[in-house]
Structure 1
Amino acid sequence: MNILWIKALHIFFVLTWMAGLFYLPRIFVYHAQSDNPSVHEQFKIMERRLWWFVTPFAGLALVFGVWLIAFYGVDWLRASLWLHIKLTLLIAVYGYHFYLYKLVKSFAQNQNKHSPRFYRFLNEAPVIIILGIVFLAVVKPF
């Protein structure tokens, strides 16, 4: 497969994954604000379905990212400090992804312990990390 196709698919899967990671905590905000049990049940369904919808995209983004690294080779990987930093930040994003799953499970069991304000912060916090990842991938400053 041509490297441009690999890059395009990697970018597509990252974008779809990020869309879900930005939207899921927003649903948590509304869920935490609601006092209506029927609304809670609807949010539980939305949260579970969204997490399971975007998780394959996280996996496919990883597959195509590893494919890109393999395409460029081990020598390129060793020489690319920017990529090492990007991969470190990416580990944090995957950790965030699975932390959101823990929260989905907490809501599903009616054991939410956080305020809507917490979820607003959680919704906005990864923006800085993702900005760093994009900056590193495009500018390659190191």
Structure 2
Amino acid sequence: MVHSHEQARCCPDCGVRSGRPHSWVRTRPRDLPVAGRRTGLTWTKRRWRCVNGQCRRKTFTEALPSIPPRSRLTSRLRTSVGEAVADRGRTVVQAARDFEVSWPVANTAVTAAAEAAEGHAAGDAPGDRRDPTREGEVPPGRGARRR
């Protein structure tokens, strides 16, 4: 599959679109299995020179939302590992084994899935929640006891 994404040529630091190629880099990110078999994905991507003289980054590689920079797994695979534990009742060890990833990778995916679910349940982004106990409010059922 060939895919062109305009933002892939933009410097991640300054955002300037580059027109000066530097070299080619080959990466093999892991994706979801198909019919129970591991898929072979090879991405030959460009390394670009940043054309902004004020930017501290001299070169950068193309990146897509589904394959972040320096990631060895696609976002789909990470999400599926997290959902296997959060939604389907698998343990972290079982999900790691089923998707052929390490335990730390599976655990990080589960943590991300839990934070995303918590944010959706609260109706806001995970970092935007307020803590009523820090603001002096007393949660229901936690008031002073009567004797």
TM-score using structure 1 length: 0.24
Q: For the pair shown, which has the larger CA radius of gyration, 1 or 2? A: 2
TM-score using structure 2 length: 0.23
- Larger % of helix: which? 1
